[in-house]
Amino acid sequence: MIGPGQDEAGLKARSAPANVQTSALLAYDYGPSHPLRVKRLDLTGQLIKACGLPWPEENIAPASLTQLACFHDPGYLAALEKFSDSGQGDEYYAFAYGLGLNDNPAFPGLWPMARLIAGASLRAMEKVISEGCPAVFVPSGGMHHALPGRASGFCYINDLGIIIRHLLSRGHKVAYVDLDAHHGDGVQWPFYENDRVLTISIHQSPLTLFPDSGLAEETGRGRGLGYAVNIPLWPDSDDDIYITCFEAVVPPLLRAFAPDYIITQLGVDGMWSDPMANLGLTTRAYLHCFRRLKDLAWGRWIATGGGGYNLMNVARCWTLAWAVMLGRENTLPSLLPAGFCARHNLDPEDSFLLDPPGLRHGRHWLRAQEEYKQALTYLKTHLMPRWGF
């Protein structure tokens, strides 16, 4: 999809897709019992290289306080820095800022890590805007639960909100597409009344999963009415349900909105074996969405990581995403490379990079069929007509 002010010749002149990653993030750890493992970034890089794909590293400048403050409240940033320095929180921090709780613990280097994550996503933004990269993948990003004044859902700094604010300050329109199993609340609410930001989130129903938001009825307010789009899915929703929902909403709305830049959160905790959600997806659904997003966003695509708590699933899916950006997904093997399997003690005959064909129908699948149809019916009745559909 060619965006405003672009032509085919201009797109051909652009440089290759790029990635932003740094091993400096591997120095930080939420703690041995925390579900979010920074190791998944390293595992993803290992698999990408094992598949023969490029994965360069660079030094990333941490985001400055000024850059963070375009989205986050100054009081919260001050508390976060102090909280990180002390390594522990008191009751005020815990209740006022969401810090020190089980989801958002204190650990050494929390503040530097948060700034580095935001810095990596800002670097990705500049690669697309200033260096002509048609797509940039920053797997460390995607912290979509952090609110302007509060940590939430393993997220301390909302790198997505920060880059959206920076793009808006330059006069751009921005579309945000969230594939994470958890609703992208930290991006939706700050822009809920803004008609220059379109947010689309496909996620597990808030009736069954954190963060208790993301109903189809949440469609924006004031000038932003119609610019928040949610598709809640019932547990055991499968690849066909997910692809149907994606196709019904994402392509037509992105074309109608015609954003200058498209930001995606590629959380993969919708995989059937993820321990933190209950959807029934395989790599088939994600590969379809990655390909379609490339069609729709090429030339202005900032792709971040997100959720994913089965580490091998994260590595597999994000390797697929990067291969799609490079146009090399058809060269990937169906099984994980033998050397990678040996390094991680995996059976090379039963370790799939691409899941074999076949849909998984869990015990909630029949209700999942009804729930997604109800969600799409609501959107087609109450939201899509605002866009001329």
Query: What letter represents residue 73's amino acid?
Result: D
User: Average pLDDT of the chain?
Assistant: 93
Spatial distance between the Cα atoms of 125 and 192, rounded to a whole number of angstroms: 22
HSE toward the beta carbon, residue 343, CA cutoff 13 A: 10
Render 108-141 in DSSP notation, one character per residue: TTHHHHHHHHHHHHHHHHHHHHTS--SEEEETT-
Q: Which of 34, 72, 144, 145 is catalytic?
A: 145
Phi then psi for residue 244, to 5 deg, are: -60, -45
- Counting as low any pLDDT under 70, the low residues of the chain are 1-14, 86-93, 359
Q: Which domains does the chain have, with CATH numbers?
A: 35-60+110-326+356-387 (3.40.800.20)
Spatial neighbors of 66 by CB under 8 A, at least 6 apart, are: none
Cα-Cα-Cα-Cα dihedral of 363, 237, 273, 294, to 10°? 170
- Residue 350: the pLDDT is 87
Q: Is 222 left (phi over 0), alpha (psi -120 to 50) or beta?
A: left
Q: Which of 340, 362, 174, 135 is nearest to 271 (CA)?
A: 362
Phi then psi for residue 193, to 5 deg, are: -115, 20
Phi then psi for residue 178, to 5 deg, are: -120, 115
- Residue 6: the pLDDT is 45
Confidence (pTM) = 0.95
Query: Is 143 in contact with 168 (CB distance < 8 Å)?
Result: no
Question: Would the CA dihedral through 344, 349, 353, 359 be positive or negative?
Answer: negative
- Residue 221: the pLDDT is 98
145 labelled catalytic: yes
- Residue 88: the pLDDT is 58
pLDDT, tens digit (0-9, with 9 covering 90-100), for 281-305: 999 999 999 999 999 999 999 999 9
Spatial distance between the Cα atoms of 70 and 76, rounded to a whole number of angstroms: 13
- Residue 381: the pLDDT is 98
- For the record, the structure tokens of 313 come out as 């699933």
